[in-house]
């Protein structure tokens, strides 16, 4: 089979497994692919998707887009909606079609939201060079526009030989499903390599499960946190997106109600409590409410739940005075 055929079949058989509240959930990691076809992917990924539409449309549904950046943003939005259990893949043509994904990649990585990007790349053999819309560098033909994805991706790889597809996909999905490391996973696909034949092991195309890691805290850390909370006079909770991604909003509400501690949330944490909950302070930090920031300023203990304490949340480290 071709590299593209192997890629599409592989993606259609990947699942995330998550256990929440004693219930195990198993869902398609990549339920579909967005794409705009042109130089680079029409005879590779495009052909493979078309083949599967005829053979088994449920394996990898294709959704035609009008702008690559919008497709990446849709995938990121879907990932947040599914709380990072699922996302979409995006295929683009070479050159400007690929660079249109850069903003979406940066959005995903900055917010730790998974998205899987397959920008097409220049011919690995360089026998057809330059192609239409290729942006070549006369001082270095090993440099392509896709190298611009390196600083805005959590994982970047370029499949220069068919055999590299296996490690690229397995390592990419490892990062994609890691709650601490997730973001944009970018795997550049030279347009000739996409159509090359390759022998694919059966186990590579078998169904594979990616279990979302939810490591338990150390008992010593829990004991120390409990001690500090018990001793606090004016504690405040700062809840971030991690609460939502861990499906822990009910536990947060129960903890806040049991202790009487008020809750402010970050931009990613909107929705951790109902807006009209008695202990809901609203947003906190640079874009926060008067109530949240007033209590944060006087707090003697700040309890962060699912937050990285970024600059907006901490008002560039000026929100908490004690």
Compute, in degrees rounded to 10, the torsion defined by CA atoms 78, 71, 152, 27: 30
Strand order in the sheet with 115-121: 62-64, 33-35, 89-92, 115-121, 184-190, 155-158
Bridge partners (DSSP) of residue 24 are: 19
Domains of the chain, by residue range, sit at 3-211, 219-314
Domains 3-211 and 219-314 share a fold: yes
Bridge partners (DSSP) of residue 52 are: none
Which of 179, 182, 158 shows the shortest CA–CA distance to 168?
158
Q: What is the pLDDT of residues 78-110, one digit of tens each?
A: 999 999 999 999 999 998 999 999 999 999 999
pLDDT score of 136 more than 80: no
pLDDT band at 266 (very low <50, low <70, confident <90, very high): very high
Q: What was the pLDDT predicted at 132?
A: 79
Distance CA 211, CA 25 (A): 10
pLDDT, mean over the chain: 95
Which of 173, 250, 259, 253 shows the shortest CA–CA distance to 212?
173
Contacts of 296 (CB under 8 A, 6+ apart): 236, 238, 264, 284, 285, 288, 302, 319, 320
Q: What is the pLDDT of residues 27-73, one digit of tens each?
A: 999 999 999 999 899 999 999 999 999 999 999 999 999 999 999 99
Return the CATH number of the domain spanning residue range 3-211.
3.40.50.970
Q: What was the pLDDT predicted at 192?
A: 96
- Domain 219-314 -> CATH class: alpha beta
Q: Residue 117: what are its φ and ψ, rounded to 5°?
A: -115, 135
Q: Where are the beta strands (DSSP E) in 216-313?
A: 235-239, 263-265, 280-283, 301-305
Q: Residue 50: what are its φ and ψ, rounded to 5°?
A: -60, -40
């Amino acid at each position: 089979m071709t590299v593209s055929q192997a890629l599409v079949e592989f993606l259609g058989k990947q699942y995330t497994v998550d256990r929440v509240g004693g219930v195990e959930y198993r869902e398609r990691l990549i339920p579909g692919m967005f794409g705009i076809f042109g130089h680079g992917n029409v005879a590779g990924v495009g052909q493979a998707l078309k083949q599967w539409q005829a053979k088994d449309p449920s394996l990898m549904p294709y959704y035609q887009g009008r702008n690559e950046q919008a497709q990446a943003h849709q995938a990121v939005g879907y990932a947040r909606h599914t709380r990072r259990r699922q996302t979409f893949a995006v295929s683009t043509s070479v050159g400007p079609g690929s660079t249109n994904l850069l903003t979406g990649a940066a959005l995903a990585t900055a917010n730790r939201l998974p998205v899987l990007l397959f920008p097409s790349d220049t011919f690995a053999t360089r026998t057809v060079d330059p192609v239409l819309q290729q942006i070549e560098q006369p001082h270095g033909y090993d440099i392509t526009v896709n190298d611009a994805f390196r600083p805005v991706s959590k994982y970047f790889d370029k499949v220069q030989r068919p055999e590299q597809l296996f490690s690229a996909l397995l390592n990419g999905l490892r990062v994609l499903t890691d709650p601490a490391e997730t973001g944009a996973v970018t795997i550049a696909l030279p347009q000739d390599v996409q159509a090359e034949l390759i022998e694919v092991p059966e186990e590579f195309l078998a169904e594979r499960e990616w279990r979302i890691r939810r490591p338990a805290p150390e008992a010593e850390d829990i004991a120390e946190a409990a001690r500090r909370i018990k001793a606090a006079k004016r504690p405040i909770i700062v809840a971030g997106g991690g609460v939502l991604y861990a499906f822990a909003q009910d536990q947060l509400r129960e903890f806040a109600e049991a202790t009487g501690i008020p809750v402010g949330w970050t931009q990613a944490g909107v929705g951790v409590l109902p807006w009209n909950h008695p202990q809901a302070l609203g947003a906190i930090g640079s874009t926060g409410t008067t109530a949240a920031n007033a209590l944060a300023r006087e707090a003697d203990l700040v309890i962060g739940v699912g937050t990285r304490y970024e600059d907006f949340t901490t008002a560039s480290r000026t929100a908490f005075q004690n």
